[in-house]
Amino acid sequence: MNLIEACVDAGCRNFVFSSTCATYGDHDNLILDEDTPQHPINAYGASKRAIEDILKDFEAAHGLRNVIFRYFNVAGADPEGEVGEFHQPETHIVPIILETVAGKRDHVTIFGTDYPTPDGTCIRDYVHVCDLVDAHIRGLEWLKADKASTVFNLGTGHGFSVKQVIDNASMITNQTVPIMIGERRLGDCTKLVSGSTRAKEDLGWLPERSNLKQMITDAWRWHQNGSYTH
């Protein structure tokens, strides 16, 4: 709210917002597009949905035009290995797996193996961070061209299960990934996969690096270099 109000006060009328596919909630066996009803089932998705609504209100009241990007799962790293993904605490699956391979964790916990999916684990759509950067530049150009406020899903349309991500990481690093089976986590959706082509058709966006092998390979390169430290 402080940032949005500051933009209005400063005369900035173009706002690109990082939202999330978690605003949709759990739609089993449904491919998600921008018109899918939003029923978030966790606080993160609900908070992003709230800001989306606030942006719509501020456009109506103050002319603050916006592009909203609903990310699917972001992964990967700078291909040169200079910049990568690092959170404290880490919550994202690819860096958690690679931290385990690097010996910084004892194991990877799989939260639930009884989901209605082929291997029983959750399925997610993954997008490379470099493709995400490209989308943001295109979103800003969209607004600078005086085009209408729009929502775009940023995903590939291809989902991978937790076990598939672990198996691919094991193959790329040539190491076994120790796992532990845990209970389901409250608020985890069974499957989140984008079915939208709006970003491609309207922005000309193509997620060129967003295949699982490339994302894990780039992330592993960063984990192996000297930049990755605690």
Q: Which of 55, 49, 43 is nearest to 23 (CA)?
A: 49
Q: What is the pLDDT of residues 194-215, one digit of tens each?
A: 988 999 999 999 999 999 999 9
| pLDDT bracket for residue 230 (50, 70, 90) | very low
Measure the CA–CA gap between 83 and 74, rounded to whole angstroms: 14
Measure the CA–CA gap between 190 and 93, rounded to whole angstroms: 15
Q: What is the pLDDT of residues 7-29, one digit of tens each?
A: 999 999 999 999 999 999 887 66
- Amino acid 188: pLDDT: 84
Q: Cα angle vertex 42, ends 218, 1, to 5°? A: 85
Measure the CA–CA gap between 10 and 191, rounded to whole angstroms: 41
Enumerate domains of the chain plus CATH numbers. Answer: 2-224 (3.40.50.720)
- pLDDT higher than threshold 60 for residue 228: no
- pLDDT higher than threshold 90 for residue 108: yes
Q: Which of 202, 199, 200, 153 is nearest to 38 (CA)?
A: 153
Q: Tokens standing for 61?
A: 């009241």
- pLDDT higher than threshold 80 for residue 6: yes
Q: Kindly name the residue from 24, 44, 71, 228 that is annotated as catalytic.
A: 44
- Amino acid 226: pLDDT: 58
Between 215 and 229, the more confident residue is 215
Q: Which of 209, 228, 182 is nearest to 76 (CA)?
A: 209
44 counts as catalytic:
yes
Q: Tokens standing for 170?
A: 């094991």
| pLDDT bracket for residue 227 (50, 70, 90) | low
Between 196 and 95, the more confident residue is 95
- Amino acid 29: pLDDT: 65
SS3 143: helix
- Amino acid 106: pLDDT: 95
Measure the CA–CA gap between 146 and 158, rounded to whole angstroms: 32
| pLDDT bracket for residue 218 (50, 70, 90) | very high
Question: Per the confidence metrics, is the pTM higher than 0.85?
Answer: yes
Percent of the chain with pLDDT over 90: 78
